[in-house]
Amino acid sequence: MRYAFGTRYDTAESLGFPGAYDVRQMRADNVIIADGKYHEADAIVTNQPGLPIFVKAADCVPILLYDPIANCVAAIHSGWQGTALNIVAKTIATLSEVYGSMPDNLQAFIGPAICGDCYEVGDQVITAVTDTLNDKVAAIVPGKPKNIDLKSAVKQQLVECGVKQITVHPDCTRADPDKYWSHRYSVANGIERGGNNNISIICL
Ligand SMILES: [Zn+2]
C-alpha cells in the first residue's frame, strides 16, 4: 500500500500515481466501488491492486483507510456536509459488507484540513456535526463556541466505529496558503481558486 497527501502543487501523476480512478464529488455521502460504473461519489473503495483512488479537498477533511488483512482501501472526502452525514461510518460499513473488513484492522490517515481555530460556522453546522457523535464535545473548540473542529469530529467518528489506528496530519489548509489550496482563504482574499484542490491518494 502507498498513500500520499498532496499540496496545491501536486497531481496524482506528480505524486507517482498514474492512472488514478477519477470521480465527481457531490458533497454528499455516496460510497462507490471503483469498478467504472459510477462516477459521482465522496468516498471510493477498492481491493484492486495498482488502482489509485483519490479525493480532492480545499479545507474539507480527506481520509484514507487501509485494511492490510482484508486487503482493501478507501478514500473519503468529508466536508461539514459529509461529516454531518457520517460518510466515514458509511464507508467503513461498505468495506465490511463488500470486502469483509474489520474496523479493528483498519489504519486511518486523516489529511490536511482546516483546523478548529480557523473554522467558524453556523449553529446548524455545529449541531449537525455533533449530532453524529456519542461524545458530543469531541469536536468543540475550547473558547470558540462558533467554531467546529472537523478533523476531531472525523477522528471521533472513526473511534466510535471501532477504528484504533488513527494518524492525524497536523497541517491546517487555511493557515498555510503557500502550501495548500484553502476555500476559506481564497474567499477571504478574493482569489479565484477555480477547480483547484489538494489531492489525497491511496493505492494497494
Ligand atoms: Zn487553522
Q: For 12-41, what is each residue's pLDDT tens digit?
A: 999 999 999 988 888 888 999 998 887 889
Q: Using one digit for the tens of pLDDT, what is the confidence trace for 84-115?
A: 999 999 999 999 999 999 999 999 999 999 99
Cα separation of 105 and 190, whole Å?
A: 44
State percent of the chain over pLDDT 70.
100
Q: Quote the ligand 1 centre to 69 CA distance (angstroms).
A: 35
Q: Quote the ligand 1 centre to 61 CA distance (angstroms).
A: 13
Query: From residue 58, how far is each of 43, 65, 87, 175, 182 by CA, in Å?
Result: 16, 19, 18, 12, 5
Cα separation of 19 and 87, whole Å?
A: 25
Q: Quote the ligand 1 centre to 189 CA distance (angstroms).
A: 16
Cα separation of 63 and 120, whole Å?
A: 21
Encoded amino acid at 34, one letter: A
Query: From residue 66, how far is each of 135, 163, 170 by CA, in Å?
Result: 25, 11, 20
DSSP state for residue 135 in the 8-state scheme? S
Length of the chain measured in residues: 204
pLDDT at position 79 is 96
